[in-house]
Amino acid sequence: MYYIYILYSESADKYYIGYTQFPTERLLKHNQQENFNTYTRKFRPWKMMALFEVSNDKTIALNLERYIKSKNPKSFWKDYVMKIKNYPEF
């Protein structure tokens, strides 16, 4: 199963969106591995703010990740939080 995840760096007030089959391991890599991702390494530590089960198809997860990234992750996350507050069944 592939997942879309949203990370948040409180110290930098930045969001990061990615996809993976292994969310727990991926969060550890973003926070600990020295040569993993130069962008996320700059803004450690990261917290997992949301995790969405997407599909067994990697292409679907990748396309959804690209779509969310094209929408500006910070505004996407704020919109998502507002929907949860206004429509708890969402």
* Model pLDDT for residues 49-70, shown as the tens digit of each residue: 889 999 999 999 999 899 888 8
DSSP string, 73-89: HHHHHHHHHHHHHH-TT
pLDDT score at 77: 64
Q: Coil, strand or helix: which one is 4?
A: strand
Q: Is the pTM of this model over 0.85?
A: no
Q: pLDDT-based confidence at 90, cuts 50/70/90?
A: very low
Strand order from edge to edge, sheet including 2-9: 14-20, 2-9, 47-55
For 22-51, write each residue's pLDDT tens digit: 999 999 999 998 887 778 899 999 999 889
